[in-house]
Amino acid sequence: MAVDLHLHSTISDGQHTPEQLVDLAVAAGLGTMALTDHDTFEGIARARAAAAGRIDLIPGCEMSIEWPDGTFHLLGYWVDAGTDLDEALRPIRHGRETRNRAILAALADLGVPVDEDRVSEISGEGVIGRPHIAQALMEAGHVETPDEAFSRFLSRGALAYRQRPRIPLDTTVDLVHRAGGVAVVAHPATVASSAAEYREAFARFADAGIDGVECWYSTYSSELRQDLAILAERHGLVATGGSDHHGEIRKPGIDVGVGKGDLVVPDEVVERLAARRP
Ligand code: AMP
Ligand code: FE
Ligand code: FE
Ligand code: ZN
C-alpha cells in the first residue's frame, strides 16, 4: 500500500477539511497518511477521529526554518498539540498575523488592495497564509492565477513580500525529538539545485540530527527523485515522500497519494521513519 506523508487541510492553506482529506486518502487506497498543516496541530484531532479504523494517521506539521542561506521547510512527524513544540510555534503563528497585515498594507500601497476580512473569510479556520491573500488578489481581479499573485507580489523578492518569523533549525529538531517525533526536510529543491549543493545540504541535514528527506515529491522528475533517494541513504537519512496536496485552487493538478499521477511513496518509509523515533 502506498502512503502520503505531506498533506494540507483547511486548517492551514489546503482546500479540504481534515475529514475530507481522510476520505480522499482512503479513496486513493493509501495505508498511511500524515496531516502536515503549516505551524499548527489544530486539525490533528479531527483527522484522527475521521481516520480511526480506516487508515493510519501520522500527526504532523510543516515548519519554516531559519537556515544560513535563507529558509527551508521541515516536516515533523508524530508530533502533536500540547507539546513544547506546539508552544514554540505559538509566536510563529502570531508572527503570521503581523506579517499578513504588512503584506496587505504593501498591496494597498501598490494599488492592488485586498480586503482583510475577505482574506480571513477565504482562510476560514486555522492559520492564514499567503495562498489566501493570493486568492483574494485573484477575486479582486488584480491577477489571473495564484502563480501570478506569487510571482508579481508575494514570492520572496517580489514587491509585497514580507518575511515572517522562523524557527531555528537546531531548536526545532530538538523539540520534534523531545515530542517523540522525527524531523524530515520537505521539498529539498528549495535549498539546492546542483549535485554539489545537494551533497553539501544533505551533509548539513545529517549533522543537524535530521532524520529524513522528502525525495518522492509531486513536482520532481523521476531522475531527481531517484538521485535524492540515493544521496539521502548515503548520508544515513531516510528517503521519504508526499504529494504536498493543497487542492485544485491552490496547487492545481496535484492529487492525494499520487501527485501528478506518477507519485508512489512506498509504505516501508513509515516503518523506517518510525524506527528513528526517540
Ligand atoms: P506562508 O506560509 O503564508 O508564508 O505561505 C507559503 C505557502 O504559499 C506555501 O506553503 C505554499 O503552499 C504557497 N506557495 C508558495 N509559492 C507558491 C506559488 N508560486 N504558487 C502557489 N502557492 C505557493
Ligand atoms: Fe502551503
Ligand atoms: Fe512546503
Ligand atoms: Zn507543504
Distance 240 CA to ligand 1 centre (A): 21
pLDDT for residue 68 is more than 80 = no
pLDDT value at residue 94 = 96
Of 99, 121, 122, 9, give the one whose Cα is nearest residue 62.
9
**Among the atoms of ligand 1, which is closest to the Cα of residue 12?**
2
Distance 6 CA to ligand 1 centre (A): 14
Alpha-carbon 192 to chain mean position: 17
pLDDT value at residue 202 = 97
Distance 261 CA to ligand 1 centre (A): 22
pLDDT value at residue 70 = 74
pLDDT value at residue 23 = 98
Tens digits of residue pLDDT in 218-253 = 999 999 999 999 999 999 999 999 999 999 988 999
Distance CA 128, CA 10 (A): 10
CB 98 within 8 A of CB 131: no
Q: What Å distances lie between residue 205 and 128, 208, 213, 232, 241, CA to CA? A: 29, 5, 9, 10, 16
Report helix, strand or coil for 3.
strand
Distance CA 97, CA 215 (A): 32
**Among the atoms of ligand 1, which is closest to the Cα of residue 155?**
16
Distance 111 CA to ligand 4 centre (A): 30
pLDDT value at residue 228 = 98
Of 49, 55, 43, 58, give the one whose Cα is nearest residue 13.
43
Cell numbers standing for residue 85: 513544540
- Average pLDDT taken over every residue of the chain: 97
pLDDT for residue 100 is more than 90 = yes
pLDDT value at residue 40 = 98
Q: Which of 133, 150, 164, 217 has the most ligand 1 atoms within 8 A of CB, as the residue to mutate?
A: 150
Phi, psi of 33 (to 5 degrees): -135, 150
Percentage of the chain lying above the pLDDT 90 cut: 97
**Of 51-55, 144-148, 173-177, which gets the smallest average pLDDT?**
144-148
Q: Whose CA is nearest to atom 2 of ligand 1?
A: 129
Percentage of the chain lying above the pLDDT 70 cut: 100
Q: Whose CA is nearest to atom 23 of ligand 1?
A: 131
pLDDT value at residue 67 = 80
Distance CA 234, CA 202 (A): 9
pLDDT for residue 129 is more than 80 = yes
* Residues 6 or more apart whose Cβ sits within 8 Å of residue 251: 244, 245
Is 0.85 topped by the overall pTM? yes
pLDDT for residue 69 is more than 80 = no
